[in-house]
Structure 1
Amino acid sequence: MSQPAAPDRQQTELPGMPQRLYLASPSRLMTWLDCPRRYRMQYLDRPRPQARPQRAHTSVGLVTHNVLRDFWDLPFDARTPTGVVELVRSSWIDVGFKDADQSARWRQQVTQEITDYLRTADRLTEPLARERSVALKTPTLALSGRVDRMDEREGEAVVVDYKTSRRTPTADDARTSLALAFYAAAGAAVFRKPCVRVELHHVPTGEVIAHEHTAESIERKIAEAESIARDLRRVDTAYRDQGQQAPDFAPNPTPLCRWCDFRAHCPEGQAVGPERSSWAALEPDD
């Protein structure tokens, strides 16, 4: 005797009951804006299409974030350049590089960049939080994510987001970031402190790009997140009903398709141009 199909989460809602909150992260919301087809493959398709192997710049970013998280776990007298060298050595991810020489060169460069960045840090004052999961609920959306760092300065919480790309962020990057505004709103709720300042820390150069939000600008960003979530609730339902035949997931071909992890499954993305090598973001002249 055949077993009945498992009830769908959406279908179990009874008429007249409040609508479930839409669960999302900032990265999920922004993936939809970047490319609906990539959103479908990354978040809806099951089994999920196989993504390409990790690139070298992702390895560099992960190592940098891990070292800057773990640095504060060291005893105070070990928070030194030698301590950074050991943390990078033990955390190094040797994936995506052209060869062993390139990996070794970048390990040395990342070690120097992190050391220089931490020279300006107050080793006595630990951050308020490191890689902390935060969440925020609105009437329609449950938004969650992980903030790189939160500082406490003069009784206020400050959002710190590490950047490791070769491109230095701009003031507009800090001002328009939905994720940073969400971290500020969630941080204020979690730590019960005012939180309006958000900072992008570009580790390779040590530059700090900051923006001071207002209550109104944060509200606008949260409203933007709710608007995107309404679209996602609609297209998720369309996918459940129609699968990959749903018309909502057309690709958005751009030069970024040359870097896409799901490029192998997208003819339109392949047509944009040849795929960039796994280490191209580290060697722009390659």
Structure 2
Amino acid sequence: MTDYSNSKIETFKQCKWKYKLRYVDKIQPEIKTSVEAFMGQMVHEVLFKLYDDLRKGFFNTRQRLIEFYEQKWNEEWEDNILIVKNDKKFYKNKGENFIIDYYERFKPFNQIKIVDLETEDFLELSNGNRYHIRIDKLAKNEDTYFVCDYKTNNRLKSQEEVDKDRQLAMYSLWVKEHFKDCKDIKLIWHFLAFKEDKVSERDDFSLVRLKNEIENDIKEIENEDNFETNPGVLCNWCEFRSICKEFN
């Protein structure tokens, strides 16, 4: 039995050699992460605190969350984080603006009831493997559940793209299994850079088909033995660039 995730499967599709280095050889890269990913992680931690404290009966002011963001950024920043464009201050300010904009859009945060945050569980697959379930924010309103994902990148997906997105759709299968009062599921992407949300839904037939697709993707991964490189613009952000056979 092997555990898979959306990022693991997408890494294989992006570059099989990168997949091998990260998941098969388990090589620890010199570059821990990119500044874009680090900023995204910090923003996620702030939004987790926002809703987690609300569940405990504590309402954070906007200023308190910004102070928490500053503290986390300074504590966790490392000098080997990759910066390709702009500089550290640019991304720090960008993340702060994401938090401010989100806070102003959704305060007082009582539109839906929080069910769970940063879920850690697995969906059993028919081939004996498991699919990792990591939902940023799971909420409900009566018998409708909301699977929410925060996006901090600079690309706003079209409605057609989110309607084809596989990650949150797979998460909805897990929601259906675990919450029997669930009648409807809405998939929500919060595109923080655009102050815009995208919403999508799936029917049962499309979810069954998707699960089969994921299982076939995993079968392809498990049958792979060549692990070829796939050079492209994303190589500039790859943590394995310094040891990649394409650049050496």
TM-score interval, smaller chain: 0.7 to 0.9
Distance 1:40 1:159, change over 3 A: same
Q: Deviations over 1:23-62 (max 9, x none)?
A: 312221111111111111010115x152424221111101
Coordinate RMSD, CA, aligned: 2.4
Aligned counterpart, 1:94: 77
* Partner Cα distance (1:102, 1:163) in 2: 20
Distance 1:32 1:195, change over 3 A: farther
Could you tell me whether the CA contact under 8 Å between 2:113 and 2:140 is conserved in 1? no
- Specify the SS of the correspondent of 2:119: strand
* Partner Cα distance (2:139, 2:183) in 1: 12
Could you tell me whether the CA contact under 8 Å between 1:174 and 1:199 is conserved in 2? no
Could you tell me whether the CA contact under 8 Å between 1:25 and 1:144 is conserved in 2? yes
* TM-score with structure 1 setting the length: 0.74
Amino acid at match of 2:22: Q
Q: Given the alignment of the two structures, is residue 129 of structure 1 paired with residue 116 of structure 2, yes or no?
A: yes
2:96 maps to which of 111, 126, 148: 111
Q: Given the alignment of the two structures, is residue 251 of structure 1 paired with residue 229 of structure 2, yes or no?
A: yes
Amino acid at match of 2:204: A
* Partner Cα distance (2:91, 2:123) in 1: 38
- Specify the SS of the correspondent of 1:87: helix
- Specify the SS of the correspondent of 1:150: strand
* Partner Cα distance (1:84, 1:146) in 2: 23
Where structure 1 has 5 or more consecutive residues not aligned to the other structure, the ranges are: 1-20, 236-245, 272-286
* Partner Cα distance (1:49, 1:123) in 2: 39
Aligned counterpart, 2:173: 185
* Partner Cα distance (1:220, 1:262) in 2: 34
Give the CA deviation at 1:102.
4.7
Distance 1:267 1:219, change over 3 A: same
Aligned counterpart, 2:218: 229
Q: Deviations over 1:200-231 (max 9, x none)?
A: 11112221011111111111211111001111
Could you tell me whether the CA contact under 8 Å between 1:135 and 1:145 is conserved in 2? yes
Aligned counterpart, 2:17: 37
Could you tell me whether the CA contact under 8 Å between 1:72 and 1:126 is conserved in 2? no
Which runs of at least 4 in structure 1 moved beyond 4 Å after TM superposition? none
Distance 1:118 1:56, change over 3 A: same
- Specify the SS of the correspondent of 1:119: helix
* Partner Cα distance (1:136, 1:97) in 2: 33
* Partner Cα distance (1:205, 1:264) in 2: 34
Amino acid at match of 2:105: T
Q: Deviations over 1:213-255 (max 9, x none)?
A: 11111112111110011112223xxxxxxxxxx4x21112222
Amino acid at match of 2:117: R
Distance 1:23 1:59, change over 3 A: closer
Q: Given the alignment of the two structures, is residue 65 of structure 1 paired with residue 52 of structure 2, yes or no?
A: no
Aligned counterpart, 2:6: 26
* Partner Cα distance (1:84, 1:147) in 2: 21
Number of equivalenced pairs: 236
Identity of counterpart residues, as a percentage? 22
* Partner Cα distance (1:179, 1:91) in 2: 28
* TM-score with structure 2 setting the length: 0.84
Give the CA deviation at 1:173.
3.3
Aligned counterpart, 2:189: 200
* Partner Cα distance (2:96, 2:156) in 1: 19
